[in-house]
């Protein structure tokens, strides 16, 4: 194992606004939605639409959503930032011989700046572990872009861990614990969506979501008709991966299925897309159809999650020797 100061493990998440205000949300969305990995339209077409329509209209609406889930207190903030920080601390406890830090692709603490600081401190090697179990060009490859631009330091990245045995066990155990003592309802795996165009261009994301969900369902011994998979968080008008989580919940209600447990294993930690969209909005929507939606939280900073990620990082470091 390399020395503690020689190599650093960086857990990288997407990023999130600094405050639940229209101004801060606008700054965050602007950086995020200018990434060519996320929106690949030509600039002269996309920039006017983004600056004059999407950012002014979306920022105040989304700021209210962030306000509804904001974690209060001195150590508080956006759930994605709070949980990512705590998760890095939990992984650090599992790996006392290695320094572990957190970083964000957009916003703060910005990955590019974190790498600059580490290099200035004399760190030679950075192992990035993007907190995306499934690989997508829109997320993982964008982290890779930042690593490729980093000078004066060697970098490596864990590409995905969608069927990693330790991670599958951790997700399955958290589902079991959440359903303990009650009849588990239908189990719906809800993943963040992606434009179908990305999949057509070869993005392995949907294939990895399907393989991971199947592996977790098998680990739980679920019959094929006791679980399903859907995609949430659609953005824009083009065709996204289907079926949508909202439409799936409606069709479950129409089939008389009233109790649904929703788990979102594409999200390492809870964030606006799980807490506001699933646990609040989709749960309300499902209730209007007479159903009860039980949201199963992400692994967040649980010991099982930290142990699974530490094992993944250890293996990547072994390969790097
Ligand atoms: C988990 C994997 C993710 C993929 C794949 C992904 C693709 C993707 N997302 C957008 C647009 C938005 N996503 C937003 C929030 C958001 N997205 C992810 C993860 C993935 N995105 C996370 C973890 C979050 C939560 C951030 C937080 O602060 O909690 C948002 C911002 C919220 C909003 O305005 O609704 C947008 C916009 C696109 C276009 C895309 C693929 C091309
Ligand atoms: Fe622009
Ligand atoms: Fe997203």
Domain 7-161+302-320: give its CATH architecture.
3-Layer(aba) Sandwich (3.40)
Question: Is 132 close to ligand 1, i.e. is its CB under 6 Å away?
Answer: yes
Phi/psi-derived region of residue 181, left when phi > 0, alpha when psi is between -120 and 50, beta in every other case: left
**Which tokens sit at 242?**
């289907």
pLDDT tens-place values along the chain, 321 residues long: 455 679 999 999 999 999 999 999 999 999 999 999 999 988 889 999 999 999 999 999 999 999 999 999 999 999 999 999 999 999 999 999 999 999 999 999 999 999 999 999 999 999 999 999 999 999 999 999 999 999 999 999 999 999 999 999 999 999 999 999 887 789 999 999 999 999 999 999 999 999 999 999 999 999 999 999 999 999 999 999 999 999 999 999 999 999 999 999 999 999 999 999 999 999 999 999 999 999 999 999 999 999 999 999 999 999 998
Question: Is 80 close to ligand 1, i.e. is its CB under 6 Å away?
Answer: yes
Burial status of residue 19 (CB atoms within 10 A of its CB: 0-12, 13-18, 19 or more): middle
Burial status of residue 26 (CB atoms within 10 A of its CB: 0-12, 13-18, 19 or more): buried
Question: Is 105 close to ligand 1, i.e. is its CB under 6 Å away?
Answer: no
Model ipTM? 0.98
d(Cα 222, Cα 307) in Å, to the nearest integer?
Answer: 25
- The CATH number assigned to the domain with range 165-296 reads 3.40.50.1400
Instruction: For ligand 1, atom 18, name the residue with the nearest CA.
Output: 14
Q: Tell me, yes or no, if the pTM score tops 0.90.
A: yes
Compute the distance from residue 83 Cα to the ligand 2 centre, in Å: 30
- Domain(s) of CATH 3.40.50.1400: residues in the chain: 7-161+302-320, 165-296
Query: Do residues 84 and 269 make contact, with C-beta atoms less than 8 angstroms apart?
Result: yes
């Amino acid at each position: 194992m390399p020395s503690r100061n020689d190599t650093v493990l960086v857990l990288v998440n997407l990023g999130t606004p600094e405050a639940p205000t229209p101004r801060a949300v606008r700054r965050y969305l602007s950086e995020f939605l200018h990434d060519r990995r996320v929106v690949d339209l030509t600039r002269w077409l996309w920039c006017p639409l983004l600056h004059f329509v999407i950012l002014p209209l979306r920022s105040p609406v989304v700021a209210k959503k962030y306000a509804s889930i904001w974690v209060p207190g001195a150590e508080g903030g956006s759930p994605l930032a709070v949980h990512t920080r705590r998760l890095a601390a939990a992984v650090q406890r599992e790996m006392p011989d290695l320094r572990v830090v957190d970083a964000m692709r957009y916003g703060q603490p910005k990955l590019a700046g974190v790498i600059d600081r580490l290099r200035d401190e004399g760190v030679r090697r950075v192992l990035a572990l993007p907190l995306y179990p499934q690989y997508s060009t829109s997320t993982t490859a964008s982290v890779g872009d930042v690593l490729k631009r980093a000078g004066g330091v060697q970098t490596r990245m864990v590409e995905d861990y969608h069927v990693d045995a330790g991670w599958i066990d951790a997700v399955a155990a958290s589902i079991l614990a959440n359903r303990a003592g009650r009849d588990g309802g239908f189990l719906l795996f809800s993943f963040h969506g992606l434009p179908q165009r990305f999949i057509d261009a070869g993005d392995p994301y949907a294939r990895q979501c399907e393989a991971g969900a199947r592996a977790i369902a098998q680990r739980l011994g679920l019959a094929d008709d006791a679980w399903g998979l859907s995609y949430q968080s659609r953005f824009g008008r083009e065709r996204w991966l289907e079926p949508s989580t909202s439409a799936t919940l409606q069709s479950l209600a129409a089939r008389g299925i009233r109790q649904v447990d929703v788990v979102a294993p594409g999200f390492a930690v809870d964030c606006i897309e799980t807490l506001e969209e699933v646990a609040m909005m989709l749960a309300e929507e499902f209730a209007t159809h007479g159903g009860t939606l039980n949201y199963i939280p992400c692994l967040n900073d649980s010991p099982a999650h930290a142990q699974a990620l530490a094992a993944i990082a250890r293996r990547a470091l072994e390969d790097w020797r």
